[in-house]
Chain A
């Protein structure tokens, strides 16, 4: 069974701090996606990484896919209250026409 372990489960920080969320597995994935989910809404795609070692930046967010395509990290610089939410990583099986396995998520709270 393929599993994705996310850490930490909960994170509460002050505005302006930096943070890193980790997503680890013993399985190799064809892609790794990160989503953010707010209460009462569905997850919203932030980024997709498909190449081992790939790094993508989205404003203050930096995403990295491990060289072996088994793990990923999300780093947020100078967090803002608007970054508050549940961050989910998802491993892709079977390419763009496959499906995703999700981790349990990291619940981030950024206090002003």
Chain B
């Protein structure tokens, strides 16, 4: 079974620029999550999708972050404009609706300078 695919692996941008991350979950996994992991901390949930609907986006900074999951498969997370404090690893995960466990991608390491 193919894993969760994320791209790019690394991205360096200047503050106030925009950036987008892409995620393709495991086939058949209805639930998709985006997490932000700042260095030295555990992952923090940004948004949860069930198919193409948003289940939880309570911790998403909506003034600058947006995410979509068209057709209930792959997803895009965008930051516009980026701030220095957005420097982190952005992890995408997916899970089957009958399973507790998540499968994570390798993440995108974002550095904002």
Contact = CB atoms under 8 A, between A and B. Distances in A.
Interface residues on A, range: 20 to 34
Interface residues on B, range: 20 to 34
B17 interface: no
B93 A42 contact: yes
Contacts of B95: 96
B43 interface: yes
Nearest to A9: B40
B18 interface: no
Interface string B98-113: 1111111111010000
Contact of A97 (B45, B50, B107, B109): B50
Name the prevailing secondary structure of the A interface residues: strand
A100 B95 CA distance: 12
B45 to A, nearest CB: 5
Given A40-B106, A42-B93, A97-B50, A102 B100 contact: no
A48 B91 CA distance: 20
